[in-house]
Amino acid sequence: MKPRVARLVTVLSAVCLMLPAAGLAADAEQEQPKQPKDFSEGVLIAIDGMITPMLEQYVYRKLEVAKQRGADLVILEIDSPGGLVDASLNLAGRLRDLDWAQTVVYVPRRALSGATIIALGADEIVMRKAATIGDAGPIFQGEDAQFRHAPEKIRSMLAREVRDLAEAAGRPPALAEAMVDMDLVVYRVKNRQTGEIRYMAQHEIDAAIAPGDWEKLQPVPESREGKFLTVSGPRAVELGLAEAVVTGRESLEQRYHLDDRLLVLEPTAVDTAVYILNLPVVTGLLFIIGLVALYVEFSAPGISIGGLLALLCFALFFWSRVLGGTAGWLEVMLFVTGVVFLLVEVFVIPGFGVAGLSGVLLLLASLVLAGQTFVVPKSIPQIVSVAQSLLVVLISGGVVLVAVAVLSYYFGDIPVLNRLALKPPEDAAQPGPGAHHGAPNPADLGRNIPVDVGDIGIADSPLRPAGKVRFGEEYVDVVTEGTLVAKGSRVKVLRVSGNRVVVREVG
């Protein structure tokens, strides 16, 4: 062999021998845990309990506070059994796209189901030794009230979402997918050419450019068929799902070399108010007070205590629902439109026709939609949610009807409200058609009302329920039993008590 050819063969042999070593070195370098940098300002947001739209909005508010404080490290301390998929995916996406701080999810005890999805969106996951993460399979409640695994279509969509989250943070996508697919088996595989070690499912191996290059070493035990992948802290670090195991908050501060202690963002008065106002009992009270106040306002039109109190109640209701994540501009616009329709029915076209019915339906729709995140229910839990909202509205409506009946009967006798009712004039120039001539009736002594029980008059103004009625040549301020009477309608006197005249519409 010629010397030049021999030298060429020697060089090529050396290069071939170096390639696997270089691949192993690169792989070893890649598998080294990331060393956290130093941070100047760290904040901690605690997430405890079910993942709901209200909790989602709470985290958003706390993230804004952290941004305003100039924090460069945001830690979400999650202890949750899971919750709604949409809220969990939204929070995971917010963490993934956060560009003004590094995001860390700290799991002291458990982060399962939806909480796992949130954790996958963070830059780093840190756990305590006994903490668990995983089991994110979607479930739904069937018609028999039993919980079942979601159909394949939903599982496939969620698997795609969690794979994307894992890839964005440099975590094994197959292991993340195994958390939502109970039938997926993940293998520890090795590339025969480069020596690279990965965790891959069979469909990933088949889709590789050179499937034959990947050698299956052993399956991941936690991903066996019929079981959602769930791991503890040390195992999560070993599989590349988590970055470190710590012993508590002090360990977190040491790991990220914070200049000062972690700032824990506690719930504020606004957060507490939102939670209380979203309780069904408080919601019902807001409905009752607001609707009764509207009735009082319609009874004595004008910007008065009734209108202001109704405005306050419904403003608090929609404010709490917007911050709670279940309402938006659509529900507010439906409610305002419903009120406008009712005003048109009362003041422009008295009676109860298309405008009034449309107004009531719009109000009902806005109040129900403001308590949920969907329009048309598609599952048993959503149907239950709609039923609960309707129940609160209907019970409140029943209480309002009773209150309106009481107010209609005693409107002129209740303190404060009697100042809002129109009073008949104390002096009358001439006796009315119902007045008695000759000797005065003892029952009429001390009364200066020119009408008597049974007299018929014509409504000179809309009665809502107060207004004016013409009896012959006399105009008398009256009230109805609570019904609305259009101008020009014939009414009959039912009761005369002092200066209070109660009438009813007659044909």
In DSSP notation, 86-119 reads HHHHHHHHHHHH--SSEEEEEESSEEETHHHHHH
- The full set of domains in the chain, from first to last, is 39-156+231-264 (3.90.226.10), 269-418 (no CATH), 423-506 (2.40.50.140)
Q: 3-state DSSP call for residue 239?
A: helix
The pLDDT score that the predictor gives to residue 360 is 84
Token pair of 322 as six digits: 């917007």
- Residue among 439, 196, 142, 396 at smallest CA distance from 288: 396
Strand arrangement, sheet containing 214-219: 197-201, 186-191, 214-219
Q: 3-state DSSP call for residue 254?
A: helix
Whether residue 431 has a cis bond before it, omega within 30° of 0: no
CA gap 11, 17 in Å, rounded: 10
Confirm if 463 and 478 have CB atoms less than 8 A apart. Answer: yes
Specify burial of residue 281 (Cβ count, 10 A radius: 0-12, 13-18, 19+): exposed
CA gap 355, 342 in Å, rounded: 7
CA gap 10, 395 in Å, rounded: 91
Query: What are the pLDDT tens digits along the chain (507 aa)?
Result: 444 444 444 443 443 434 344 443 344 333 444 556 678 889 999 999 999 999 999 999 999 999 999 999 999 999 999 998 889 999 999 999 999 999 999 999 999 999 999 999 999 999 999 999 999 887 655 555 455 566 666 778 899 999 999 999 999 999 999 999 988 999 999 999 999 999 999 999 999 999 999 999 999 999 988 899 999 999 999 999 999 999 999 898 889 988 778 899 999 999 999 999 999 899 999 999 988 888 777 766 555 688 889 889 999 999 999 998 888 888 999 999 998 887 787 666 655 678 878 888 898 889 888 888 777 777 666 777 788 888 888 888 888 888 877 776 665 444 444 444 444 444 444 444 444 444 444 444 444 678 888 899 998 888 877 788 998 888 888 888 767 788 888 999 988 877 788 888 887
Token pair of 236 as six digits: 């999560």
Strands 474-480 and 110-112: unpaired
The pLDDT score that the predictor gives to residue 474 is 86
CA gap 310, 289 in Å, rounded: 7
